[in-house]
């Protein structure tokens, strides 16, 4: 009886965490859409911000769009200063790899003298700088990503042929080795925890570096896929989620980023 109680407690906690994450992402998405309407910012401003592209839209509307988002999600205080606690929390939640290095990039940009500029301009300059500094860490992320995949391949004895088909062509086989390789990869990258709960923020971090187009479409598919499987066997669960995702990506003809290197 005690074992069942512990099981349901763990399951309920995981459900609460996932639901909280879903509500938070929904709130942020709604804030972004409302800010776009409020500032009349072009769609390109929205796309570049979501993708963390340093080449942000430089129109007045685009700059005020960024400021509106920052105020809406509590990243910028009323006096125009940045909320470092909020920034650190978001960085830890959304980043795969070194959180501290990304936060250092944030602090580097925050330290630059932007006094005298209005809030729209300051928000724009802050995030143009931050996205530029953050992108400098991409090589480190790609190296860590590849090392993780290689390590999981070794740990699960996944044949090189299967590994290359997956990493180069997004082709999966149904072997036990492949299933556990996917579980290993998701867990080591911080995308899935030991209970099988998917970290949607870190998933988006990875998708931004993998696919062209609207990442929200990819994210929605991923969320739908991860809600379908049973978590009694995490190797099977990871395989089912990734397989569902790949099928959706191919069906919608979403292309991988050309610069992405598995």
Half-sphere exposure at residue 58, Cβ-oriented, CA atoms within 13 angstroms = 3
Residue 232 confidence (pLDDT) above 80: yes
Residue 126, token pair as written in the block: 């802050």
- The answer to whether residue 174 scores a pLDDT higher than 60 is yes
Q: Which CATH superfamily is domain 2-135 in?
A: Pheromone/general odorant binding protein domain (1.10.238.20)
Q: Measure the CA–CA gap between 15 and 23, rounded to whole angstroms.
A: 12
Q: Which residues pair with 256 in a beta bridge?
A: 211
Q: Quick check: do 2-135 and 139-251 share a fold?
A: yes
Q: Which two tokens stand for residue 51?
A: 């993708």
Domain ranges (residues) in the chain: 2-135, 139-251
Q: Give pLDDT tens digits for 201-223.
A: 778 777 776 777 677 788 788 88
3-class SS of residue 132: helix
Domain topology for 139-251 = Recoverin; domain 1 (1.10.238)
Query: For 53-75, what is each residue's pLDDT tens digit?
Result: 888 999 999 999 999 988 888 88
Residue pLDDT, tens place only, 97-112: 677 888 888 888 888 8
């Amino acid at each position: 009886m005690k074992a069942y109680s512990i099981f349901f407690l763990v399951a309920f906690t995981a459900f609460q965490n996932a639901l909280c994450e879903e509500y938070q992402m929904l709130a942020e998405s709604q804030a972004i859409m409302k800010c776009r309407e409020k500032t009349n910012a072009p769609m390109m401003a929205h796309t570049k911000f979501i993708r963390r592209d340093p080449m942000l839209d430089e129109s007045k509307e685009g700059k005020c769009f960024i400021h509106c988002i920052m105020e809406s999600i509590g990243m910028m205080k009323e006096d125009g200063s940045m909320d470092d606690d909020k920034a650190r929390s978001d960085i830890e939640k959304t980043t795969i790899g070194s959180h501290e290095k990304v936060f250092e990039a944030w602090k580097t940009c925050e330290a630059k003298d932007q006094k005298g500029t209005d809030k729209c301009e300051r928000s724009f300059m802050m995030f143009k700088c931050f996205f530029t500094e953050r992108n400098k860490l991409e090589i480190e992320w790609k190296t860590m990503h590849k090392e993780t995949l290689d390590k999981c391949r070794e740990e699960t004895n996944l044949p090189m042929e299967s590994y290359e088909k997956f990493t180069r062509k997004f082709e999966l086989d149904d072997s036990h080795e492949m299933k556990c390789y996917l579980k290993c990869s998701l867990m080591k990258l911080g995308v899935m925890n030991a209970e099988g709960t998917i970290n949607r923020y870190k998933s988006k971090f990875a998708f931004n570096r993998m696919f062209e187009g609207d990442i929200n479409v990819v994210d929605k598919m991923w969320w739908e896929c991860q809600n379908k499987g049973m978590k009694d066997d995490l190797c099977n669960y990871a395989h089912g989620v990734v397989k569902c995702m790949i099928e959706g990506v191919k069906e919608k003809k979403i292309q991988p980023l050309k610069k992405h290197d598995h």
